Structure 1
Amino acid sequence: MHAVKVRGPNDLFIDSTAPVPTVRPGHLLIKVLSVALNPTDWKRVAIFKKEVPHTVGLDVAGRVVECGDEVGQEYKVGNRVAGLCYGIKAGDPLSGAFGEYALLKGALSLPVPDDVSDAEAATIPVGTNFVGQVEQTMIALYQTLKLPPPSPPSKPKSLGPAVLIYGGATASGMFGLQFARLSGCHVLTTCSPRNFQLVKALGAHEVFDYHDGGACAAAIRLATGDKLLYAFDCVSAGSSLQICADALTSQPDVAAYTAALPIGEGFPRKDVRAGWTSGYSGGLVFHFSLLWCPSSEGSQERENSCRDYPIFTPRIKLTCTDNPGDAAFAVDFWMATAELLRQDRLRLGPLVHERQGGLAGIAEGLAELRAGGVSAGKLVYTIE
């Protein structure tokens, strides 16, 4: 089959002789129909250093062609599904979404309703996983912040707790807004003014311009009466940490902040429960290093490379392991998401930015992502 591979930092190519992955117990082999690009894709491509080329990509939608043993009876050959296929996976160079076929973990796949297109379905997995987990972790809105789960489709009598979704026009933020609204929360968010109407349509009650810095934080604190307890930061860089810190209630030891990227000791307030956890603990991949600069530790080259890629830091090295509790939560959360899709309670259309070129166009799309040219959605490619 054809697949997008990486063989060195930012060195992508299409392998026309890539083997089709072998189906394993608990997994689905799918014919890929659409894929979506995520920032983590270009970031992992930028630091790739392995002897063997690896397949790239996470977000995928396709049609089941083979079911492995131990797969639930809800999956049949011919079904359309969406899921996470962890690309550039240590020890598994064939794992990845950007190919003509992909292997998905059945328990962490979503049946795609008939009224959801392949392109829309491809935007779901990472965004939903992120919302349920924060930086691909089972902690964001429902494990760490412990918000109430999405409620039945009836209008609540009053709003629940206030939650700040920082970066509401990011793909994960767009999912976060919808889930927080479905949970009955008072939803506040930040974004650029050009996206105000979009985020309001997705569930935000109040929107603030993050460019205003300290004034933005002060306005959020005023709007919540200094009672904001929860912040979900989908940016986790630049001024976002400080704005979230200043927007959360001034009352000590009651607020919680979850980040989309490792923040180390970087959160400005010690009286706020702050952190992040790897979502790969949900059972997707285990034991790998993440967000680690390409060059040798302590060297000037390393420091320069970290400045080139702001998501990397020379002070944090991470190894992520599986967690049975997180895996169980992931299965439940994905089942709940599938039900919300069936009920037509999630809006996917605004997230789709369709691009041409199929697999051959992905390198250009990743370059566009890397240059910061994509907002308010995901680049999606149809795979013939």
Structure 2
Amino acid sequence: MNSRVANALIVRTVGGSSSLVGSDIQLPEPKSNHAIIRVIYVAQNYTNVRSFHSDVLEDERVLGCDFLGEVEAIGSDVSRIGRGDVISGVACGGDIMGVGGYGQYTLADERLCFKIPPCVPYGDATVPFAACTAYLGLFSKTRLSIDQKRGPDNSVLIWGGSSCVGRFAIQIAAVYKFRILTTCGSRSFDLVKSLGANHVLDHYDGDVIERIRNLELTLEYVFDTVGSPSGKGNLCTISPEKDTSDIAPSTNVTNASVWRAFLQSHWFNGVFFAPSVNEHEIAARFFDDLPKWLQDGIIKPNNLRVLKGGLGGVGNGFELDQHGSPIGYKVAYEIEKLDTKCGLDLLHVMGMRKQILSAITVQEKMIPFTEELKSSASPEAVLKKTLNS
């Protein structure tokens, strides 16, 4: 299986400031379990914006973790997908030289992707990164490790249920009939209930902690940033660098991500993720189930907005996070070949990165609505008050 030369957006540092520039790159030599994918759609994830803003990426790296495309070639050990299949998957964008969704071609691990069911629109299938993060957070042995077979005997509290990961966490927990308590702003109540939440509380409410206690649920599992009212349990957060020093010692604190599922070491914003065979296997099981869930409407994708201009529209996508409009939908790009002018335009736009990325704190918590940041009971406050009570 021969590699490819692809046009892509690469990270380039000029004068100590990172920019994105259109350039031809060489894909790395595919492994026997890899497929070469011609990218059709790529989605914008918090990790794309945040990694770029962190100034820790090496030159020539390609961002982009959620992709959808057509299989052009497969390795000798690939059996689950074939040439001509349209698949969606996750890439370790920004980590391996030449691998990422923001380009014409990328590489896919056959176990970390799925074939698109006929009735699912292409754009709606760019869901794996956030959905897999939620799945691993709930079920990995080194995360919450919830027993799927216990069904309604499991109660899970999800802070920020209307966030990107939160919506998928609710839907996945509902698949296994867990009892689900979530918090969000009142305008999102109907949304999270429609996704499967049994109890919804307004985290604008200054009494939200007391209201959690009054529900008298045995909350052994907490996903994201709210802990158990009993002070004992398991907390899984998507912010690995979050300060949890004030959390009760009896609480087992872990973080959720997909990085360990790639079976290779990964650094993200100064945090090291060692590869995990267990998480790779759990993620592979998720990708086995996901196409049917999407086809049957059991898992509903987030609202999608496809921006014009292909990769040339990435600057506009980042700007959407600037002007106090943390987005209530998912941004995706339909890939088009870049030309030199496009690259220069992007260099100009991304050179203003400090202004463009001023809303990075929104993305740090995977919270797409402004309301989620204005809660009178912040996640940190709830952690301290409930886990230490």
Q: TM-score range by the shorter chain?
A: 0.7 to 0.9
What residue in structure 1 maps to residue 219 of structure 2? Answer: 228
The answer to whether residue 98 in structure 2 is matched with residue 145 in structure 1 is no
Return the alpha-carbon distance in structure 1 between the equivalents of residues 124 and 131 of structure 2: 13
- Paired residues of 1:21 and 1:102 also in contact (CA < 8 A): no
What residue in structure 1 maps to residue 335 of structure 2? Answer: 383
Return the alpha-carbon distance in structure 1 between the equivalents of residues 335 and 289 of structure 2: 28
The answer to whether residue 248 in structure 2 is matched with residue 256 in structure 1 is no
Letter in 2 for 1:323: S
| Residue among 81, 94, 100 paired with 2:87 | 81
- Say which SS state the counterpart of residue 354 (structure 1) adopts: strand
Return the alpha-carbon distance in structure 1 between the equivalents of residues 20 and 75 of structure 2: 30
Return the alpha-carbon distance in structure 1 between the equivalents of residues 198 and 260 of structure 2: 32
- Paired residues of 2:92 and 2:100 also in contact (CA < 8 A): yes
Deviation at 1:50, TM superposition (A): 5.3
- Say which SS state the counterpart of residue 25 (structure 2) adopts: coil
What residue in structure 1 maps to residue 26 of structure 2? Answer: 19
**C-alpha spacing 1:65/1:331, structure 2 compared with 1 (3 Å):** same
| Residue among 209, 214, 224 paired with 1:217 | 209
Deviation at 1:260, TM superposition (A): 0.6
- Paired residues of 2:129 and 2:258 also in contact (CA < 8 A): no
| Residue among 38, 45, 50 paired with 2:45 | 38
Return the alpha-carbon distance in structure 1 between the equivalents of residues 314 and 263 of structure 2: 23
Return the alpha-carbon distance in structure 2 between the equivalents of residues 62 and 112 of structure 1: 10
Deviation at 1:249, TM superposition (A): 3.2
Letter in 2 for 1:354: V
What residue in structure 2 maps to residue 117 of structure 1? Answer: 121
Deviation at 1:232, TM superposition (A): 0.4
What residue in structure 1 maps to residue 68 of structure 2? Answer: 61
- Say which SS state the counterpart of residue 54 (structure 1) adopts: coil
Letter in 2 for 1:220: I
| Residue among 128, 132, 141 paired with 1:129 | 132
Letter in 1 for 2:94: I
Instruction: Describe how 1:173-184 pairs up with structure 2 within 5 A.
Output: 173-184=166-177
What residue in structure 2 maps to residue 299 of structure 1? Answer: none
Could you list the per-position Cα deviations for residues 129-182 of structure 1 after superposition, in whole angstroms to 9, with x for gaps in the alignment? 201223xxxxx345333334389xxxx8xx442211111111111111100111
Q: What residue ranges of structure 1 are gaps of 5+ in the alignment?
A: 135-139, 234-240, 293-317
Instruction: Describe how 1:321-336 pairs up with structure 2 within 5 A.
Output: 321-336=274-289
Return the alpha-carbon distance in structure 2 between the equivalents of residues 267 and 181 of structure 1: 31
Return the alpha-carbon distance in structure 2 between the equivalents of residues 372 and 268 of structure 1: 31
**C-alpha spacing 1:77/1:181, structure 2 compared with 1 (3 Å):** same
The answer to whether residue 359 in structure 2 is matched with residue 355 in structure 1 is no
| Residue among 219, 228, 251 paired with 1:272 | 251
Return the alpha-carbon distance in structure 1 between the equivalents of residues 52 and 189 of structure 2: 32
Deviation at 1:41, TM superposition (A): 0.9
What residue in structure 2 maps to residue 314 of structure 1? Answer: none
Could you list the per-position Cα deviations for residues 83-121 of structure 1 after superposition, in whole angstroms to 9, with x for gaps in the alignment? 1111110xx320111111111111111111011111111
Q: Percent identity?
A: 24
List structure 1 runs of 4+ shifted beyond 6 angstroms: none
What residue in structure 2 maps to residue 295 of structure 1? Answer: none
Could you list the per-position Cα deviations for residues 34-79 of structure 1 after superposition, in whole angstroms to 9, with x for gaps in the alignment? 111111111110123455321111010111111112112x311111
Return the alpha-carbon distance in structure 1 between the equivalents of residues 40 and 23 of structure 2: 17
Return the alpha-carbon distance in structure 2 between the equivalents of residues 343 and 29 of structure 1: 28
**C-alpha spacing 1:367/1:188, structure 2 compared with 1 (3 Å):** same
**C-alpha spacing 1:50/1:208, structure 2 compared with 1 (3 Å):** closer
Deviation at 1:26, TM superposition (A): 0.6
What residue in structure 2 maps to residue 107 of structure 1? Answer: 111
Letter in 2 for 1:217: I
Deviation at 1:14, TM superposition (A): 3.4
- Say which SS state the counterpart of residue 332 (structure 2) adopts: strand
Instruction: Describe how 1:41-52 pairs up with structure 2 within 5 A.
Output: 41-49=48-56, 52=59
- Paired residues of 1:10 and 1:46 also in contact (CA < 8 A): no
